[in-house]
Amino acid sequence: MSTTTIIVLFIIISSMVSGILYVAFGQITVRKLRKNPKTRDFLGVEYASGWDIINVAQAFAFPKAWAKKVENSKFSFMYANSSELYENTTKFDQILGFVFYWVLTISGLVSALLILLDSLGAFSE
């Protein structure tokens, strides 16, 4: 099995896992937050349908110090408010969001890296 095949296999599996986690996190956590009038306005800007799921997961994935900097910036309306979200979610919700966000991010970055390396001829024989 070649290196490219292993990397593509990793990308496919991690993309499938991130898709499953996306649906699970959206149904378990974000749905509950959308229905709560207290948290509805703290989910960040939704660029496309479902983007608030990624915003909430990002709030759980980044360190609290980074989240505080984002909350105090002039672009805070674009991101989910982590302080409010931590108060209204369980530890399971937070861990699920953390895992989902990093699986999604890593699979996307590895995909982009593979495309870049392939276009530079790193896998030519």
CA 25, CA 23: separation in Å to the nearest integer? 6
> Which pLDDT value is given to residue 84?
87
What crossing angle do the helices spanning 3-25 and 91-119 adopt, rounded to 10°?
150
Q: Map out the domains of the chain as residue ranges.
A: 3-119
Q: Please answer whether residues 61 and 23 qualify as being in contact, where contact means their C-beta atoms are separated by less than 8 angstroms.
A: no
In order, the DSSP letters of 106-125 are: HHHHHHHHHHHHHHTTTT--
> Does the global pTM surpass 0.85?
yes
Q: pLDDT tens track of the chain, all 125 residues?
A: 888 888 889 999 999 999 999 999 999 999 999 998 888 888 888 788 888 899 999 999 999 888 888 878 887 878 888 888 898 899 999 999 999 999 999 999 999 999 998 888 887 76
> What are the residues whose beta carbons fall under 8 Å from the beta carbon of 103, sequence distance 6 or more?
14, 17, 18, 21
